[in-house]
């Protein structure tokens, strides 16, 4: 079964054709990063307009690369939640129009569930249940327990900033540009993680929740010299390197601790990790160490499947269609998760 996937929930317009839930026949991702960079974050109205301009060319390119026409696909899967509502509506309207014109089934996919799925898509077989999923992106930082590989139950989330948002904001403080995650990951290599002691922000008392706004403020105060009898810290290459490394280490330790605690409390066999921050080299390294020490299986998506893409939407769409059939054309977009 060949499914066309469409993704437009944030600042990537993406389309892909995936066969039987795992074989990627084609994949196109058009990023809007350049349009948003000067604002230091995603501007919703700019995102919607840009999706509108490129959605059809992106879909056509995905079909072309798979040497297919709309008649050759068996179904259309589309992200319909959560995300920027105007951005979601562009992909959803395109998917509905295609479904109506071709008579092919329409399948609504949850973006966060797709990030979880992306980590085991290539393995073809879901991890043994129960397993825990950590989704770390620009908009979300959540832990889920899965007793059924397609039904995540949230057991912890961030109380303020998402991890990726903290990376982006700290990168802005350090003058590293947008998006901040890849920039911090790069400059942190070779930095001294012990020079600044930012406390890993795990709340822990009420469950595996996260909080990242405090650590972001701690970096800001370190740079401005605020809140202590200290001069501002000049942003030399060495200081930026050490600040980036110390900040990244604190975030990674927080994510690792909470994920390991969740694996233990759920008696889980595996941890799957998805979302843009799953590309972080230090996080991947730390989680690999924990999986070895604690004896749980670790599923990390390949790098191109960490950030937003449509292959994960088409892939998960295949499984959802097999389980619950198609949605109808009244399918709506929602800014929030389930």
Q: Do the Cβ atoms of 107 and 77 come closer than 8 Å?
A: yes
Binding piece for ligand KG4, criterion CB under 6 A, among 15-23, 43-51, 179-187, 193-201: 179-187
The whole-angstrom separation of Cα 6 and Cα 114 is 12
Based on the shown chain and the rule CB under 5 A, indicate whether residue 308 belongs to the binding site for Zn ion: yes
The whole-angstrom separation of Cα 266 and Cα 132 is 8
Binding piece for ligand KG4, criterion CB under 6 A, among 125-133, 137-145, 235-243, 258-266: 137-145
Nearer to Zn ion, 126 or 337 (CB): 337
Judged by DSSP in three states, 271 sits in strand
- Minimum Å distance from CB 85 to ligand KG4? 14
Based on the shown chain and the rule CB under 6 A, indicate whether residue 191 belongs to the binding site for ligand KG4: no
- Minimum Å distance from CB 275 to Zn ion? 6
Residue appearing with tokens 């694996």: 263
Nearer to ligand KG4, 139 or 317 (CB): 139
Residue 49 to residues 31, 95, 149, 209: CA-CA distances in angstroms? 13, 17, 35, 35
Whether residue 179 has a cis bond before it, omega within 30° of 0: yes
Based on the shown chain and the rule CB under 6 A, indicate whether residue 277 belongs to the binding site for ligand KG4: yes
Nearer to Zn ion, 137 or 248 (CB): 137
- Minimum Å distance from CB 279 to ligand KG4? 4
Alpha helices (H) along 24-102: 33-36, 44-65, 85-102
The whole-angstrom separation of Cα 311 and Cα 121 is 9
- Minimum Å distance from CB 280 to Zn ion? 14
- Contact with ligand KG4 (CB under 6 A): which of 308, 321, 327, 333? 308
Based on the shown chain and the rule CB under 6 A, indicate whether residue 82 belongs to the binding site for ligand KG4: no
The whole-angstrom separation of Cα 259 and Cα 290 is 10
Residue appearing with tokens 């919607």: 48
- Contact with Zn ion (CB under 5 A): which of 8, 13, 119, 137? 137
The residues, ordered by sequence, that sit 6+ positions from 272 with a Cβ below 8 Å of its Cβ are: 116, 119, 120, 127, 131, 132, 133, 134, 298, 299
The residues, ordered by sequence, that sit 6+ positions from 167 with a Cβ below 8 Å of its Cβ are: 179, 180, 181, 184, 248, 251, 277
- Contact with ligand KG4 (CB under 6 A): which of 79, 116, 137, 222? 137
- Minimum Å distance from CB 325 to ligand KG4? 27
Binding piece for Zn ion, criterion CB under 5 A, among 29-37, 80-88, 220-228, 307-315: 307-315
Based on the shown chain and the rule CB under 6 A, indicate whether residue 180 belongs to the binding site for ligand KG4: yes
- Contact with ligand KG4 (CB under 6 A): which of 181, 191, 301, 317? 181
Nearer to ligand KG4, 3 or 279 (CB): 279
Based on the shown chain and the rule CB under 6 A, indicate whether residue 18 belongs to the binding site for ligand KG4: no
264 — phi, psi (to 5°)? -65, -50
- Contact with ligand KG4 (CB under 6 A): which of 91, 127, 138, 337? 138
CA 281 to chain CA mean position, Å: 15
CA 184 to chain CA mean position, Å: 17
Nearer to ligand KG4, 179 or 337 (CB): 179
Based on the shown chain and the rule CB under 5 A, indicate whether residue 165 belongs to the binding site for Zn ion: no
Q: Which residues are near ligand KG4 by CB under 6 A?
A: 10, 137-139, 164, 167-168, 179-182, 185, 275-277, 279-280, 307-308
């Amino acid at each position: 079964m060949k499914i066309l996937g469409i993704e437009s929930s944030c600042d990537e317009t993406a389309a892909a054709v995936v066969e039987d839930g795992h074989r990627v026949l084609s994949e196109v991702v058009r990023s809007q990063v350049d349009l948003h960079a000067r604002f230091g974050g995603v501007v919703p109205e700019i995102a919607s307009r840009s999706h509108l301009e490129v959605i059809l060319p992106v879909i056509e390119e995905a079909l072309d690369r798979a040497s297919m026409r709309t008649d050759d696909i068996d179904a259309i899967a589309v992200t319909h939640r959560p995300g920027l509502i105007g951005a979601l509506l562009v992909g959803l309207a395109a998917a509905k129009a295609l479904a109506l014109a071709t008579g092919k089934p329409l399948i609504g996919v949850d973006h966060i569930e797709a990030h979880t799925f992306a980590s085991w898509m290539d393995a073809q077989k879901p991890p043994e249940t129960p397993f825990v999923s950590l989704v770390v992106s620009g908009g979300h930082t959540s832990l889920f327990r899965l007793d059924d590989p397609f039904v995540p139950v949230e057991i912890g989330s961030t109380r303020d900033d998402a991890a990726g948002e903290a990376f982006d904001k700290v990168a802005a403080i350090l003058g590293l540009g947008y998006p901040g995650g890849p920039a911090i990951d790069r400059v942190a290599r070779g930095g001294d993680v012990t020079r600044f002691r930012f406390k890993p922000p795990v709340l822990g008392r009420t469950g595996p929740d996260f909080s990242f706004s405090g650590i972001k403020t701690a970096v800001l105060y370190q740079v401005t010299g605020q809140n202590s009898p200290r001069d501002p810290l000049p942003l030399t290459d060495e200081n930026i390197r050490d600040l980036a490394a110390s900040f990244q280490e604190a975030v990674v330790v927080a994510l690792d601790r909470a994920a390991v605690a969740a694996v233990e409390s759920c008696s889980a066999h595996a941890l799957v990790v998805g979302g843009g921050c799953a590309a972080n080299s230090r996080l991947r390294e730390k989680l690999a160490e924990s999986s070895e020490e604690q004896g749980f299986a670790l599923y990390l998506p390949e790098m191109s499947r960490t950030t937003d893409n449509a292959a994960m939407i088409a892939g998960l769409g295949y499984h959802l269609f097999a389980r619950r059939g198609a949605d109808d054309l009244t399918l709506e977009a929602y800014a929030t998760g389930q």
